Amino acid sequence: MSVQTSLLLHSFRGRLALCFGGLSLLVLLSVGLYFGHMATQQLGQAAREKVHSAAQAAADLLGANLRERELEIALLSMAPHFTRGDLKNPELLESLQRRKLLRREFAWLGVADVEGQVLQASDGLLAGVSVAQRPWFMAAMKGVYVGDLHEAKLLAKLLPQQADGEPPRFIDFAAPIRDRQGRLVGVVGAHAHWNWVTETVQSTLAQRQMGGEAEILIVDKSGNVLYPRALAGNAQLPKGVPEGAASSVARWNDGIEYLSSEVPVSAGTSSDLGWRIVVRQSIDLALAPAHELRRQLLALGLAAALLATLVAIWLARSISRPIEQLATAARRVQQRSDAPRYPAAGGLQEIDQLSEAMRSMTDSLLSHERELEALNQTLEQQVQQRTEALAAANAELERLATRDALTGLANRRSFDERLLACFQTARRTGRGFALLLLDADHFKRVNDQHGHTVGDQVLQQLGQLLKASIRSIDLAARYGGEEFAVLLPETAGLDEAAAVADKIRAAVALADFPAVGRMTISVGVASWHAADTDPLRLVQRADKGLYAAKGAGRNQVMVEKATT
C-alpha cells in the first residue's frame, strides 16, 4: 500500500467516502436484487396464468358452442313442421336452408326417414342417399347425438375443394324426430365444418394478443392431436402437462421446453367427446419479459451503485473541505507562517465571528425563504385557480361545440365527424356500420296546434327515447329540425340495423307525450357497402328509405339496400 493511499484511508475525507459509498452500494444492490427477484417471479407467474387462462377460455368457448349447436339441432327436431310427421314438407327444406345460411359452420343439414333414406337436405346434397349405416343416424335413432371428428368422403366429393387441398373434416349433430304421438318418424342431422371448431379456439389467442407467441392444440380422449394438422398423429402429450390447473414447464417431442396447460372441454352435450384444449408457449418466449427485466434491473442497479459511489466521494469532499481549510488555517496560525498579526487566539476568535455571521446570514436567508415560499404558494394557488377555470371553460366550449342545446344529443357537426370516422374505419378494416335517419311524423301539426314550447318538449323526449334505445357505442344526434340520426358501429348488416330501428319506432309509438298524446316516427335504414366512395352515399340511401317510410303511411321502418 502506497503512502498516499494510506494517508487517504486515514483521512476524514477517505473514511467518509469509503463508508458512505460502501453503504450505498450495499443497499442499492440488495434492494435491486430483491425487487428484481420479486418482479421476475411475478412476471413468470403472470406468464403461467396467461397460458392457463387462454386454455380455459378456449375450452369454455368451445364447450359452449358445441352445446349451443346440439341444442339448436334438438330444438329444430321439435319444431312444429317437423313433428307433424310429413318429412317431405317443403317447409322442412326451407328451414334447413335458412339454418345453413344463418350458421356458416354447418356444411350440410338433412332429414332422413326411419329407414335411413335422406328425404330432404340443404342444397339437395345426398338427397335420396341411404345413411342407415352412418354412426350419427344410428345414434340419433335413440337420442340427441354429437359425433367426434371424421372425414365424410361422399359429402367431400360434393363440396368445393378447400384452399389448402386437405380433405374436409366434420363433426356431427343429430336428433330424432318424433310426431305428436311420440312415434319416431325420422332423424335430422348436420355436419359442421371442423374449421369452425379450430377458428373458435384460435380466436381466444387473438383476443389475448397471443397469436404469434403461443400455440393452441385440440386433443382427443386418447391423447392424439386433432389440431393443428401439422401435429396430428404425433405421440401423445408429454408428461407434466397439468389438467385443469396452472400451467407448468414440459419438454415436448420436438425437444423444446414449453409452458403448457391442459383444460378439458366441458361441453355438457349428450355425448362426451373427451376433447381437451392444450395451450403451449416456448419457455424462452414466455419468460422473455422476465429475463429482460432482470437484465435491465441488474444494469440499472450497477449504474445506480456507481452513481452513488461518485456522489459519496463528492459529498465526502464537500463536507471535509471546510474542516480541512480550517485545519490549514489553524496550522498556519500555529506555525506562524503568515504575518505575526494573526496569533492563535485571534484566529479562533475570527472563526467564531465568521460562524456567528454565517448563522445570522442563514437566519436572514431562511426568513426571506419563508416569505418567498408563502408568496410562491399564493402564486401557485392563483395559477391553479386560473387553470381550473380555464379547463372548465374549455370543457363547456367543447360541450357547446359538440352537443345540441335543446336535446342534449350530439349536434350535426359531431355527427358528421363520427360518420366520417366510421366510414374510414370500415374501408380500412372491413367492419361495417349502419345509419338510421328518423323523422317525427306530423311535427308541424304539433307546433301549429300546441306551440313551439310543446314542440321543443316533444323533441327533448324523442332525444331521451333515442338514448335509452341504443347501445353505449352508438351515437344519437339531432340531424336538423325534427329529424334525428343514429350511427350503429360494428353492426353486422341491414337485418340487425332494422331491428334496432324498429325497437326505437316501437318505443316512440308506445310513449306518452304530455299535452300531445301519441307520436310516431318514420325511419330510413342503410348500411355501409364496400362500393361506397364517400359517406354521402350512405346518407342518401338512409334518406331515401326515410322518404319511402313516409310514403308508406308513416310509423314505418324502410331499409334501402346498396346497388353495386
> Cβ-count burial of 341 within 10 angstroms (0-12 exposed, 13-18 middle, 19+ buried)?
exposed
* Cα dist from 384 to 380, 387, 390, whole Å: 6, 5, 10
Element (H, E) at 526: strand 521-527
Cα–Cα distance for residue pair 123/161, rounded to 1 Å: 16
- The beta-strand segments (E) located in 84-183 are 106-113, 118-121, 145-146, 150-151, 169-178
Q: What cell does 488 get?
A: 350503429
Nearest to 541, CA basis, from 465, 433, 463: 433
Catalytic: 482? Answer: yes
190: CB partners within 8 A, 6+ apart: 69, 73, 106, 108, 109, 110, 172, 173, 174
- The beta-strand segments (E) located in 84-153 are 106-113, 118-121, 145-146, 150-151
List, in sequence order, the alpha helices (H) in 403-411: none
**At 248, is the secondary structure helix, strand, or coil?**
strand
Which of 70, 105, 262, 482 is an active site residue?
A: 482
- 491 φ, ψ to 5°? -105, 130
Half-sphere exposure of 281 (CA within 13 A, CB side): 24
137: CB partners within 8 A, 6+ apart: 112, 116, 131, 174, 187, 189
457: CB partners within 8 A, 6+ apart: 513, 514, 515
Taking the CB of residue 124, how many other CB atoms lie within 10 A of it?
13
Angle at 493 between CA 490 and CA 495, to 5 degrees: 125
Nearest to 86, CA basis, from 104, 52, 50, 111: 111
Q: What cell does 431 get?
A: 367492419
Nearest to 283, CA basis, from 312, 254, 307, 308: 254
Q: What cell does 493 get?
A: 348488416
Instruction: Check: CB of residue 218 under 8 Å from CB of residue 198.
Output: yes
- DSSP letter (8 states) at residue 117: B
The residues assigned a catalytic role are 482
